[in-house]
Amino acid sequence: MAVWFSRSRTIGYCLRKKLGFFGLVGHESSCCFSPSFRHISSIRQIGGSYGNPNGFLNDSAIHFRSWRFESSTAETQLDPQYFQEEDDLNQGLDFPGGRVTFTSELRFISESGDKRVPCYRVLDDNGDPITHTSFAQVSKELAVKMYGDMVTLQMMDVVFYEAQRQGRISFYMSTTGEEAINIASAAALSSDDLVLPQYREPGVLLWRGFTLQDFADQCFGNKADCGKGRQMPVHYGSSKHNFFTVSSPIATQLPQAVGVAYSLKMDKKDACVVAYFGDGCSSEGDFHAGLNFAAVMEAPVVFICRNNGWAISTPIEEQFRSDGIVVKGRAYGIRSIRVDGNDALAVYNAIRTAREMAISEQIPVLVELLAYRVAHHSTSDDSSKYRPVDEIEYWKSSRNPVNRFRKWVERNGWWSDKEESELRSSVKKQLLKAIQVAEKTEKPPIAEIFTDVYDHPPPNLKEQEKVLREDIKRHPKDYPSDVSL
Amino acid sequence: MASSMSVSRRRFGRLLARISGSRRQFSSTTSSISIDDQQQQQAQPQPQPRSLNLYSAINQALHIALDSDPRAYVFGEDVGFGGVFRCTTGLADRFGKSRVFNTPLCEQGIVGFGIGLAAMGNRAIAEIQFADYIYPAFDQIVNEAAKFRYRSGNQFNCGGLTIRAPYGAVGHGGHYHSQSPEAFFCHVPGIKVVIPRSPRQAKGLLLSCIRDPNPVVFFEPKWLYRLSVEEVPEHDYMLPLSEAEVIREGNDITLVGWGAQLSIMEQACIDAEKDGISCELIDLRTLIPWDKETVEASVRKTGRLLISHEAPVTGGFGAEISASIVERCFLRLEAPVSRVCGLDTPFPLVFEPFYMPTKNKILDAIKATVNY
């Protein structure tokens, strides 16, 4: 970081404003990646006993154990944030949600806390566990699979991105910078948990066994694509892997996640719903709808926000004025935590704990993962047009989530350079083969234009199919030849 | 929308329902029983039909839907206590608050939630309190519900979703308690749009919509909630979707409409008959995918077509019907297709009588078309 800082003071100054809590500048004063001991101790408490729902505000307590349709007491104890010693606790107003005390002081609640909400992490920048940090033990087998999948995801991005640049596929979106979020969150879930993705979470599918060939088939839109070639690349979906199909509109999956979770709740399933979204998504109306519905319905949803700092070219300072996403949870009555998204063990730990809470207490939980979108938004975007290349480089090298996790795995004696090169060469071969096969596989037949609009094609679609087929006969050169009739 | 304002407006809406005017009389005699229904009734003896108004028929359908499928849910704003139009009366008491419940005041949340619930194999019956407030949910309906099956290659679907919404003029509903937004949704492949004209139709069609494996938007003519009364069979019956019904046979001109407007059109037909004009009246019932064949067959017989709806004429669904029938029956047509619809203005409170496609506007158009 020091190296990066010394490169350009001007940019550094700029970014102090721009980057907000990324904490690049003035590391010592940032509570983001160097939490004070008090914060660490409270985090340990969360790790050890997640019964305390209140995160870093350790000395207040909220209990959201009331079931739907019974009384919904919001807070059984008073939060020191909202009352002072001189307030008369006997003078109060019984109001739906619980007793509200009176105060004679004309006092507004501050628009922000004294400190930014700290960020939970397990590994330091060198991949060493932080002293005093407790975390769930990750076995060698699990750790190696996590690392292997992170590398695979990274390599898939490189190869598919290149395929797009060569004009072989029309579009692509990379996950670079968010490999730990993808893989470690997936690793913390059960395969029965239903995932409603945004679009930058292919690693969850990879973890669940969607093959590189499956990814390639979707990106090429061939007849092996389970989406039948109807959507742009990276709009994956697989019912087999409990992964709902990606749709481009932002945040629409959030209220849907509540409906899915409500069904799990009614069926008393030992599973939850996991809904992914980005920082930009939190500005959408559906974000509000989703979180509010989840809280009111007491639906077991883990909302995972990938706060990567950028919504295409819009930095988070132009997206919201709150301390990120994590603080919004409380306004909805949703337990929440902020986590270092570049620390695979922290992500794993936090999501695993959030999942347990969501299922055992039948409540939603919000997890904000801090990371950086090292990739361009998509292949249609050039992010150097709106952000300094140095900034990208810093996150790519100094804060690389894959390298950090590798250091930890290596230090445990679970990984070697030999294994690394074997993995990389094997994955590369698989990827190249997958692309070749996908490219040669024919497109879905033309009849698939008209199926699945409804359960059965109505007469207007049958008529349109007939007309189209006649048109193709008359003007075969107007249409792609690789789509079979 | 500001929530306190809209809540008060919605309460106002509840008053509207109570004191709705009596200008719009619906004759129950013309609501003929469908052939399917007759056959069903002959096949097994059923309890005697009861006289019911439209909201009670809807209520009965919801009771049957919840009773016949333990995976059916009813939810929306204020449905817990019975709904502002009383359509959900008694449901929460009978089926419990986990299956019949209020939601927060948020239409996009209601539909989004419904999509997720339906995607898990449930029958999600969502209520939007007024069709005028369905627009915040437009994205969820158009981009999500309608494409859920298609975009996943049939791996996922939300076919169990039915969205109920009261629509249309009510005498004094102004801009935001009167709209007929059906045409917006008729432009969306992947959903069905259904509008009943009477209590018996409402019960049978709603049960079909709830059980149809595709997402359906079901608009209920709120003017008729209390005004329209007819005998409704007690038992569980369904009426077919995408099948129009000829509710009055005639030879000189075909009239096509749906929902509350049919009662106005029927009065025009009766008056036209006095002038010796024989009108055929068709209830389209399902707007998409619509029954072109029945309309085409009728126009081939009569050689003339008139379409009437409350929604503004420009871009209304009447335009689609007109274009389709001209394509199919051009040489058979003896006059231009006539449209008697709402004006291209926002729905104007005190000017409602001017805005509406009234009986005499229709009657004049019938005469002009027949005498063309």
The strand ranges marked E within A268-375 are: 273-278, 301-307, 310-311, 314-315, 335-340, 365-370
- Higher per-residue pLDDT: A83 or B321: B321
In a domain, B26, yes or no: no
Backbone angles phi and psi of B133, in degrees to 5: -105, 15
Quickly list H helices, A34-139: 37-48
Chains A, B: CB pairs < 8 Å: 152
Q: Is A334 helix (H, G, I), strand (E, B) or coil?
A: coil
Angle at A482 between CA A481 and CA A483, to 5 degrees: 95
Dist. CA A187–CA A192, nearest whole Å? 12
Q: Active-site residue numbers of B?
A: 107, 177
Q: Say if residues A252 and A286 touch (Cβ distance below 8 Å).
A: yes
Q: Which of B209, B232, B255 is the last residue of a domain?
A: B232
In a domain, B339, yes or no: yes
User: Mean pLDDT, chain A, as a whole number?
Assistant: 86
CA dihedral over B171, B174, B177, B179, signed as positive or negative = positive
Dist. CA A178–CA B251, nearest whole Å? 70
* Ranges A404-418, B27-41, B56-70, B186-200: which has the least confidence: B27-41
Q: Say if residues B271 and B359 touch (Cβ distance below 8 Å).
A: yes
Angle at A271 between CA A267 and CA A341, to 5 degrees: 150
Tell which A residues from 390 to 419 touch B, by Cβ distance under 8 Å. Answer: none
Closest CA relative to residue A304, chosen from A279, A286, A321: A279
- List the single residue in B with minimal CA-CA distance to A291: B109
Q: Is A475 helix (H, G, I), strand (E, B) or coil?
A: coil
Q: Say if residues B258 and B197 touch (Cβ distance below 8 Å).
A: yes
* Ranges A64-78, B118-132, B149-163, B259-273: which has the least confidence: A64-78
Provide the pLDDT for residue B49: 83
- CATH number assigned to the domain comprising residue B304: 3.40.50.920
Tell which B residues from 128 to 187 touch A, by Cβ distance under 8 Å. Answer: 136, 139-140, 143-144, 147-157, 159
Same domain, B158 and B275: no
- In angstroms, the Cα distances linking A217 to A182, A226, A240, B248 are 21, 8, 16, 55
**Chain B closest-CA separation from residue A237 CA (Å):** 6
- Domain boundaries defined on chain A: 2-82, 140-440, 449-478
Provide the pLDDT for residue A273: 98
Q: Would you call A289 an interface residue with chain B, using a CB distance cutoff of 8 Å?
A: yes
**Do the bridges between strand B192-194 and strand B286-288 make them parallel or antiparallel, or are there none, so unpaired?**
antiparallel
Q: Residue A250: its chain B contacts at CB < 8 A?
A: none
Segment B40-74, tens digit of pLDDT: 445 556 667 889 999 999 999 999 999 999 999 99
CA dihedral over A19, A24, A25, A28, signed as positive or negative = positive
Q: Would you call B216 an interface residue with chain A, using a CB distance cutoff of 8 Å?
A: no
Q: Take residue B338 and report the two structure tokens written for it.
A: 């006539």
- b/e for A266-286, b at 16 or more Cβ within 10 A? beebebbbbbbbbbbbbebbb
Which of the four pLDDT bands, split at 50, 70 and 90, describes residue A70? Answer: very low
The DSSP element (H or E) to which B341 belongs, if any, is strand B338-342
Provide the pLDDT for residue B2: 40
In a domain, B239, yes or no: no
- List the single residue in A with minimal CA-CA distance to B154: A452
Interface test with B, best of A217, A452, A460, A464 (most B CBs within 10 A): A452
Interface test with A, best of B113, B139, B163, B193 (most A CBs within 10 A): B113
In a domain, B343, yes or no: yes
- Higher per-residue pLDDT: A482 or B341: B341
Which residue segment(s) compose the domain that B188 sits in?
Answer: 41-232
Q: Say if residues A373 and A309 touch (Cβ distance below 8 Å).
A: yes
The tally of domains found in chain B comes to 2
Provide the pLDDT for residue A132: 73
Q: Considering CB atoms only, which of A235, A239, A461 is closest to B155?
A: A239
In a domain, B261, yes or no: yes
Backbone angles phi and psi of A317, in degrees to 5: -65, -25
Whether residues B113 and A262 touch (CB distance < 8 A) is answered with yes
Q: Would you call B109 an interface residue with chain A, using a CB distance cutoff of 8 Å?
A: yes
**Do the bridges between strand B279-283 and strand B245-248 make them parallel or antiparallel, or are there none, so unpaired?**
antiparallel
Dist. CA B223–CA A94, nearest whole Å? 41
Q: Would you call A228 an interface residue with chain B, using a CB distance cutoff of 8 Å?
A: yes
**Chain A closest-CA separation from residue B187 CA (Å):** 13
Same domain, B263 and B317: yes
Same domain, B182 and B125: yes
* Strands laid side by side in the A335-340 sheet: A194-196, A273-278, A301-307, A365-370, A335-340
Provide the pLDDT for residue A71: 38
Same domain, B173 and B274: no
How far is CA B193 from its chain centroid?
8
* Domain A140-440 CATH superfamily: Thiamin diphosphate (ThDP)-binding fold, Pyr/PP domains (3.40.50.970)
Closest CA relative to residue B343, chosen from B330, B354, B359: B354
Tell which A residues from 243 to 272 touch B, by Cβ distance under 8 Å. Answer: 244-245, 247, 249, 252, 254-264, 266
Same domain, B224 and B323: no
- CATH number assigned to the domain comprising residue B161: 3.40.50.970
Q: What's the one-letter identity of residue B178?
A: S
Interface test with A, best of B95, B105, B151, B212 (most A CBs within 10 A): B151
Quickly list H helices, B120-181: 138-139, 148-151
Q: Would you call A45 an interface residue with chain B, using a CB distance cutoff of 8 Å?
A: no
User: Mean pLDDT, chain B, as a whole number?
Assistant: 91
